[in-house]
């Protein structure tokens, strides 16, 4: 099978000749810069260049040499947005700026959200404030808040060329959205505690903020599909609704505030480009929401947080294995990959392979991003164990 044929089989819930591999095609299945630097040095790759794909999360853009070595099917791209541009660009809506004080980097993005990064102690940027921070916010405050349009022309030329090139060389192309998910972006603007209280106490205010973010996403995907829709295979959206033990938001509130917006966005994408599959990322114990994800049009779910309550791979495969593709769940990245023994790494990969691979419907990737403290030996043990299993 070709890469395209293999992935099409997965989305048709048919068993491919080989389980497809994603290594860094999204910024939810990537690798931290520190870990990447150590990995390519250890592997003695010719391309030792370190490129950042996501500044906020401090993720690396894997080289083509590494992706070929790992035999991955997917190639990812990101539009220019606050996580990808370290310096201001020419745009009326762009407000990004770096300020360095006492060795600490402070960054204000195009949404007026402020992040900080201490190069001596931090592995990624942390949000410290947003423009709607405060005890109370009225709908008029949200109405007058300056937001990006989402379809600015400067966002696309670079990633459009990448998508065209990747597709011509037989890869499966993946594109991430212009901003965080609806709840995550609202939480960045308002503060998570404030937004969650708004959702319960003043739902009309919360709903209005979500709609404004939704409009940005709609304009973005419209522009994407007009410019590069024929070169795109998979569109990625993300919004975290789970903790390790439970949901961040009740199923009832999800159905009321969020499901209609995601359903409208996904339907719009598929009307304009029926061939595109939707990959939806949501961390944590989200089992109770999976039927809703399926109904709103998500074709695949990431990261398959296998150590969260109710997210055991065997149960997920049994209950939803013919309705939604599982993208991830290849190895636990919270304990096993960074701290487990060699045997534990091999056993975890095998357990998840045995649970998720039969019958198709699975893309191998770790549970979320590989963190900065993971050694090259551990990463290679994970990859080699998986590749041995898929080639049996």
Phi, psi of 9 (to 5 degrees): -65, -40
Residue of 300 and 78 predicted with greater confidence: 300
Query: What pLDDT does residue 106 have?
Result: 84
Burial of 68 (0-12, 13-18, 19+ CB in 10 A): exposed
Element (H, E) at 356: helix 342-356
Tokens of 366: 């770790």
**DSSP track, 281-308:** E--SS-GGGHHHHHHTT-SEEE---TTS
Q: How is the beta sheet containing 97-101 ordered, strand by strand?
A: 97-101, 104-108, 114-117, 126-129
Residue 183 near residue 240, CB atoms below 8 Å: yes
pLDDT (tens digit per residue) in 180-206: 999 999 999 999 999 999 999 999 999
Residue of 32 and 88 predicted with greater confidence: 32
Residue 368 has pLDDT above 50, yes or no: yes
pLDDT tier at 82 (50, 70, 90 boundaries)?
Answer: low
Query: What pLDDT does residue 42 have?
Result: 98
pLDDT tier at 81 (50, 70, 90 boundaries)?
Answer: confident
pLDDT (tens digit per residue) in 212-250: 999 999 999 999 999 999 999 999 999 999 999 999 999
pLDDT tier at 99 (50, 70, 90 boundaries)?
Answer: low
Residue 104 near residue 116, CB atoms below 8 Å: yes
Segment 120-128 shows an average pLDDT of 92
Burial of 334 (0-12, 13-18, 19+ CB in 10 A): middle
Segment 354-359 shows an average pLDDT of 98
Residue 42 CA, distance from chain mean position: 27
What whole-number percentage of the chain has pLDDT above 90? 87
Domains identified in the chain and CATH numbers: 3-91+132-390 (3.20.20.210)
pLDDT (tens digit per residue) in 273-319: 999 999 999 999 999 999 999 999 999 999 999 999 999 999 999 99
């Amino acid at each position: 099978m070709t890469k395209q044929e293999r992935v099409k089989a997965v989305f048709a819930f048919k068993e491919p000749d080989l389980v497809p591999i994603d290594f860094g095609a999204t910024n939810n299945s990537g690798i931290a810069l520190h870990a990447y630097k150590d990995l390519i040095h250890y592997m003695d790759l010719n391309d030792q260049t370190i490129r950042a794909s996501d500044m906020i999360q401090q993720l690396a853009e894997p080289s083509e040499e590494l992706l070929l070595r790992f035999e991955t099917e997917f190639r990812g791209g990101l539009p220019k947005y606050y996580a990808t541009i370290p310096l201001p660009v020419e745009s009326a809506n762009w407000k990004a700026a770096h300020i360095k004080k006492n060795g600490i980097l402070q960054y204000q993005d195009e949404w007026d959200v402020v992040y900080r990064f201490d190069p001596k102690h931090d592995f990624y940027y942390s949000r410290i404030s947003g423009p709607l921070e405060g005890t109370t916010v009225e709908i008029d405050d949200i109405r007058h808040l300056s937001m990006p349009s989402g379809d600015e022309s400067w966002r696309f030329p670079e990633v459009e060329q990448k998508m065209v090139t990747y597709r011509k060389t037989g890869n499966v192309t993946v594109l991430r959205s212009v901003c965080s998910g609806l709840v995550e972006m609202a939480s960045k603007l308002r503060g998570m505690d404030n937004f969650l209280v708004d959702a319960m106490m003043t739902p009309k205010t919360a709903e209005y903020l979500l709609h404004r973010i939704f409009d940005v996403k709609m304009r973005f995907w419209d522009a994407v599909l007009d410019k590069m829709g024929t070169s795109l295979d998979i569109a990625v959206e993300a919004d975290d609704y789970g903790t390790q033990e439970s949901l961040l938001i009740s199923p009832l509130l999800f159905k009321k505030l969020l499901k209609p917006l995601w359903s409208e966005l996904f339907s719009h994408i598929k009307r304009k480009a029926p061939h595109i599959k939707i990959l939806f990322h949501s961390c944590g114990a989200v089992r109770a929401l999976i039927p809703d994800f399926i109904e709103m049009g998500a074709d695949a779910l990431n990261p398959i947080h296998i150590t969260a309550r109710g997210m055991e791979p065997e149960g997920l495969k049994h209950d939803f294995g013919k309705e939604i593709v599982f993208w991830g769940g290849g190895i636990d990245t919270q304990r096993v990959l960074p701290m487990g023994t060699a045997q534990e790494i091999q056993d975890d990969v095998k357990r998840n392979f045995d649970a998720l691979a039969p019958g198709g419907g699975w893309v191998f990737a770790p549970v979320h991003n590989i963190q900065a403290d993971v050694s090259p030996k551990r990463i290679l043990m994970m990859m080699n164990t998986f590749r041995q299993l898929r080639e049996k």
